């Protein structure tokens, strides 16, 4: 049996659902703990994917002579 891979966007959407449910405050304690645990796993997975994407961007940015150049992302840039 192969597990279906969940996309980053799906993971992020589920994380947003969990945050909304926990912020609402009407979830039983046991369910809150389960949601919190699921949320922390999703956060770790999303962070890992974002780190990998950032490394890929750094690899793709080449400076003079082909050497990689790492440029900081500026606030407000898209």
CA quadruple 62, 63, 69, 73: dihedral sign: negative
Measured between alpha carbons, how far is 27 from 24 in angstroms, rounded to an integer? 8
Decide if pLDDT at 28 tops 50. yes
Identify whether the C-beta of residue 57 lies closer than 8 Å to the C-beta of residue 30.
Answer: no
Establish if 76 belongs to a structural domain. Answer: no
Is the pTM value of this prediction over 0.85?
Answer: no
- pLDDT tens column, 16-27: 999 999 999 999
DSSP 27: S
- pLDDT tens column, 34-75: 999 999 999 999 999 999 888 887 777 767 777 777 766 665
Torsions phi, psi for 3 (to 5 deg): -80, 140
Among 22, 59, 57, 52, smallest CA distance to 37 is for 22
What domain range is 45 assigned to? Answer: 8-63
- CATH (domain of 33): 1.10.287
Establish if 27 belongs to a structural domain. Answer: yes
């Amino acid at each position: 049996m192969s597990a279906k891979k969940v996309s980053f966007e799906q993971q992020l959407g589920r994380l947003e659902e969990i945050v909304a449910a926990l912020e609402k405050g009407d979830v039983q304690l046991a369910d809150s703990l389960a949601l919190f645990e699921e949320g922390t796993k999703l956060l770790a997975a999303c962070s890992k994917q974002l780190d990998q994407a950032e490394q890929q961007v750094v690899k793709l940015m080449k400076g003079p002579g082909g050497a990689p150049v790492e440029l900081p992302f500026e606030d407000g840039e898209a």
